[in-house]
Homo-oligomer: A and B are copies of this chain.
Amino acid sequence: MTQKPGKREKRAEHNRKKLLNAAMAVFSQKGFHKATIDEICRRANLGKGTVYQYFDNKKELFLGIVDSFAADLGKSVESAVGAITDDLKRLETAITAYVQFHAAHRSFYRLLVHEESSFAKEIHQRFRTEYFSHLRILEDILREGMKNAKMKKMNVRSATFALVGICNSVIFRWLLSERNYSLRNEMPVILEIFLRGICIRPSGKEA
């Protein structure tokens, strides 16, 4: 624990959260440039100055959301995987959690893609330390699978990125498609594509 959170600290943390939520909503809806600080703090029921108490500027506020989003994603995947021990099952669960999280926060995911070219560097810097930190979970799973000789020996990092790439493609296509089919049904597709390529002996389910 970092000191005991006095009333003051608590209030501060609460305000930060309120701002983050409001900002997420407004940014997602309007995009970075069309979103205004005014609308964000109106939505957060806070004064304009307060924003600058917690964030250096508009861009930092945006990146603050990215951080928070990444952290939430990490937590979501972690808690989904939980105590599952079977490697393949862990992998499947992690992927599903990953995809579902994006689907649930699709407006922000869209925003991320949307603003990527503007803030590419900054976003990726954050991601490298925060967002992709959850990838360690996937990496761990893969590494474990290799040790247990269930998966091909290969560069773990590459495999992880390949997997994330496939997921993103699927999510992206789903978003563009006006979401007239269930993402959940795509899960087997992802797994099949990914596993068929890397597994030494595919599980018996496959013909």
Contacts and interface: CB of A to CB of B under 8 A. Distances in A.
Interface stretch (A44-52, A113-121, A132-140, A142-150): A113-121
A114 B32 CA distance: 11
A172 B33 CA distance: 23
Contacts of A169: 169, 172-173
A118 B114 CA distance: 9
Interface string A59-94: 000000000000000000000000000000000000
Contacts of A172: 169, 172
A48 to B, nearest CB: 13
A172 B114 CA distance: 12
Copies in the complex: 4
Interface residues of A, number: 19
Contacts of A34: 33, 118
Nearest to A33: B33
Interface in A94-143: 110-111, 113-118
Contacts of A31: 33, 117-118
A76 to B, nearest CB: 22
7 contacts: A33-B33, A111-B117, A113-B113, A113-B114, A114-B115, A165-B176, A169-B173
Nearest to A177: B165
Given A31-B118, A114-B115, 9 more contacts: A32-B33, A33-B33, A110-B117, A114-B114, A165-B173, A165-B176, A165-B177, A169-B173, A172-B172
A168 interface: yes
Contacts of A117: 31, 110-111, 114
A117 to B, nearest CB: 6
